Structure 1
């Protein structure tokens, strides 16, 4: 008899446990987080992630192979256009320049000497012309023999040839002098290349070399950037292309300061989409930089693509999707009821609700992620 009573109790306990379970699943109040719907201004934003870059940057490198004798600036220093930044050993370059200058001086002296010879040849020719004219006149009057006239003619031809030779020598000397001058100019330029100067005013972002290092053309000594225009080159999904345009306002949030947005504007849009990620570059100019910043620093940009004033708005946390339909739970008679809605402009903190809700409605979401609220009684949200 006792054994039968135990069995009966067990059979009775099963429905009781089931009833309690069903009650807690279907009818017991659940905790929820509530929000009263209101009207607000909504700003639509498109998100992009990228790095801080300088629009104008230059790698300062030598055009000659040589040893650095001095690096006059360090990273973080500001420089002006034309400022001397570093120098190479210039002893050899100066010697080449001195040799070229000596050659140029010698070429100029040679030209001057040949010009003197040319002037002498011109004077000799003039005298030969007079002698020839006199001899021809006398020969015509038979005052002198024909041989005297022939001799004068020969002297005239010799004088003409000497002058022609002198003029040719002058042309050669002028060419040699010009070549020597070009060599001087070349050596002066090579000497100038031992001095590395700033091509524009800016900030030394990085220093790669030190005095005593041997550098070659193309090897970076300093990395210089212009600070007038610093921007974030951000990758944005291609679906946002139609909503973006230059000069749109934006917020820039650096990961080092996630709670401090910095103002900016779209500077330019990229014209090529990455074929793997389906994203394209958008350069967002930063109007004001943090006190400490670095090139390559990661940041998120929020580009304003539209604005709606005085519309019904909802925080994104209260927006859900069911079977491809957007909706939320509305509190009615102490219970949560599913309400389809039509979202509009999406911002960082609010989403425009076009239909389905009105100001004053009370919406809820589960206090526990993943919990269902369908038809459930709610604790006071």
Structure 2
């Protein structure tokens, strides 16, 4: 039988795990509204640069008052009329108090003159002075009452005027960039009324990228912090990276086939010059290849030569022109090679991709070398 052969030899190979991941900025800052009010239209767009503490990213002014329905307007008009009448009453009370003060002042002056001429007892003079001071206090009280009624009238009139005021709205609050970087997304661009905590835009530093990849839990247990990795599939040259953190908890994720899988998030930091990854942005899709194990001078066999013989691994070894079934003990395994721990020696020739026509003792002839 013609067969393709490969050699068992010492090789350098590594075991990796490959999965689709996502590039993201390590620290993304969301600028939110600090007060309720009318947000002015945002002039910034995604990609614009901002400086920490200097660039004004948003401004919030007072919101317009609520519109009055017919019933509320009728109540407001009645309240205004009542406040206007109260002002008129307070003015009349002030005029009355001033008239009383003028009379009391005249009486006190007359009593003083008579007392100096010894024509009026001291007690009557004291009574006249007391009436004068009481009248002065009544005037002060009437003036204060008039001021209160005037403010009440202004308050009632303001409810009616409300949105009729066409004057410019003073800006209450300006929001500045918390960090230097670029605008990632403008969440609220148009002018509108916002509530406290409403997100407005996101800011981040594109130079501070990291990679997050969700690995199967059985693969994640073999990943160690500091392990080397490669980032590919993003549209540029492969980028070096290292594992920064393996999160301690897993989560359930449903695969494209509808199978529930336990996944673990692994965070990687990019290495090398930033200029090589300048085009890589927040949320970009990438392929992550993490090195789980690497060996040099490892006795190995091509994976294409392996098959199952019961519960053991085996391969066909060519000896004296015949195929011989040989059980093998394997160690680490990659997509191309597997580590041989027992059953084979360096230099052995094995059959690649043996067909069902190959059996113990079958005469074979090599068609290529490996």
Normalising TM by the smaller chain, what interval? 0.5 to 0.7
Judge conservation of contact 1:37–1:363 (CA < 8 Å) in 2. Answer: no
Any stretches of 5+ residues in structure 1 without a counterpart?
1-27, 97-144, 156-186
More helix by share: 1
Asked whether the equivalents of residues 38 and 63 of structure 2 are also in contact (C-alpha less than 8 Å), the reply is no
Give the length in aligned residue pairs.
Answer: 284
Shift of 1:322: 3.4
Q: With structure 1 as the length reference, what TM-score do the two structures score?
A: 0.56
Q: Work out whether residues 251 and 261 of structure 1, in 8 Å CA contact, stay in contact via their aligned partners in 2.
A: yes
SS in structure 2 opposite 1:317? helix
1:262 to 222, 240, 243: 240
Distance 2:335 2:48 in 1: 38
Which consecutive residues of structure 2, in runs of 5 or more, have no partner in the other structure?
66-121, 133-169, 255-259
Instruction: Report the CA distance between 1:57 and its aligned residue.
Output: 1.6
**Are residues 1:48 and 2:19 paired?**
yes
- After superposition, the Cα gap between the structure-2 partners of 1:314 and 1:206, relative to the gap in structure 1 and judged at 3 Å, is farther
Give the CA deviation at 1:365. 0.6
Q: Offset at 1:222?
A: 4.3
CA–CA distance in structure 2, aligned partners of residues 324 and 80 of structure 1: 64
Q: CA distance change for structure 1 residues 264 and 247 in 2, over 3 Å: closer, same or farther?
A: closer
- The answer on 1:217 being equivalent to 2:189 is no
1:305 aligns with 2:292: yes
Change (3 A) 1:343 1:36: closer
Counterpart CA distance in 2 for 1:282 and 1:333 is: 51
Q: Normalising to structure 2: TM-score of the pair? A: 0.57
Alignment partner, residue 90 of structure 2: none
1:359-378 maps to which residues of 2 (within 5 A)?
359-366=346-353, 372-375=357-360, 376=362, 377-378=364-365
What is the deviation of 1:309? Answer: 4.0
Q: For 2:178, what is the secondary structure of its paired residue?
A: coil
Give deviations 1:151-180, integer Å, cap 9, x for gaps: 999x9xxxxxxxxxxxxxxxxxxxxxxxxx
Does structure 1 conserve the Cα–Cα contact (< 8 Å) formed by 2:228 and 2:242?
yes
**1:244 pairs with 196, 209, 223, which one?**
223
CA contact (8 A) 1:249 1:266 kept: no
Greater strand fraction, Structure 1 or Structure 2: 2
Offset at residue 60 of structure 1 (A) = 4.5
State the alpha-carbon separation in 2 of the partners of residues 356 and 246 from structure 1.
35
Kindly indicate whether the alpha-carbon contact (under 8 Å) linking 2:227 and 2:292 is maintained by their aligned counterparts in 1: yes
C-alpha distance 146-66 of structure 1, shift in aligned 2 (>3 A): closer
Cα distance in 2 for partners of 1:65, 1:94 equals 5
- Aligned ranges 1:24-103 → 2 under 5 Å: 28=1, 30-40=2-12, 42-60=13-31, 64-68=37-41, 71-73=43-45, 75-84=46-55, 86-87=57-58, 93=62
Which residues of 2 match residues 184-333 of structure 1 at below 5 A? 189-190=172-173, 192-193=174-175, 197-207=176-186, 213-217=190-194, 222-254=201-233, 256=235, 260-274=238-252, 276=254, 277-280=260-263, 281-288=265-272, 290-333=277-320
Deviations 1:300-355 (A, max 9, x none): 32333344443212343333333332233322223333322222123455432222
Calculate the aligned-residue CA RMSD, in Å.
5.0
Q: Do the aligned residues in 1 keep the contact of 2:25 with 2:282 (CA within 8 Å)?
A: yes
